[in-house]
Amino acid sequence: MLLRLIDKNKTQYLDLSTFINCSPDRILFYYYNSYIRITLETYQQMQEWPQNDDTPESCLNQWRDLIGRELCVDEDIEILKKSPFIDTLGPYYLSPTNTQFYIDQTDKFAKGSIKSVDFAVLFSLHKKAEPDKELQKYYKSRKNIKKGQPTLDVIIKDIGMCLAALEQIQRINQQCHYLQSLIKHRNDLLENEDLVPVAPSPRPERPKKPAEPELSFASISALGISKAKQKEYLAECSAFGHNLKVYFVQYREFEKATERYKEALIDWDLYHNHLIERCLDDMEDAEEKLETTRGLLEIYQYILSKSFVHPDYHELETLNNFRYYLQTGRANDLQACMNIYEEEQHWSEIKASQERIENTIYFLQGETDFTGLNEQLATKMIAATSQPK
For 129-140, write each residue's pLDDT tens digit: 999 999 999 999
Domain count, the chain: 2
Task: Note whether residue 17 is domain-resident.
Answer: yes
Which structural domain range is residue 348 located in? 333-386
Q: How far apart are CA 246 and CA 239, in angstroms?
A: 11
Q: How far apart are CA 350 and CA 328, in angstroms?
A: 26
Domain boundary (69, 95, 126) is at 126
The residues facing 36 across adjacent strands are 101
Rounded to two decimals, the pTM is 0.80
Q: Quick check: 218 pLDDT over 70? A: no
Nearest to residue 307, comparing CAs of 294, 288, 322, 292? Answer: 322
Amino acid 216: pLDDT: 55
Task: Note whether residue 75 is domain-resident.
Answer: yes
Task: Note whether residue 368 is domain-resident.
Answer: yes
Identify the band that residue 242 occupies on the pLDDT scale cut at 50, 70 and 90: confident
Q: How far apart are CA 375 and CA 370, in angstroms?
A: 9
Q: How far apart are CA 151 and CA 157, in angstroms?
A: 10
Identify the band that residue 353 occupies on the pLDDT scale cut at 50, 70 and 90: confident
User: Taking a C-beta distance cutoff of 8 angstroms, is the pair 166, 323 a contact?
Assistant: no
Give, in order, the Cα–Cα distances in Å from 308 to each of 145, 152, 161, 323. 11, 11, 11, 13
Q: What value does the mean pLDDT take over residues 138-165?
A: 88
Task: Note whether residue 318 is domain-resident.
Answer: no
Q: Of the ranges 52-56, 202-206, 300-304, which one carries the lowest mean pLDDT score?
A: 52-56
Domain boundary (95, 126, 157) is at 126
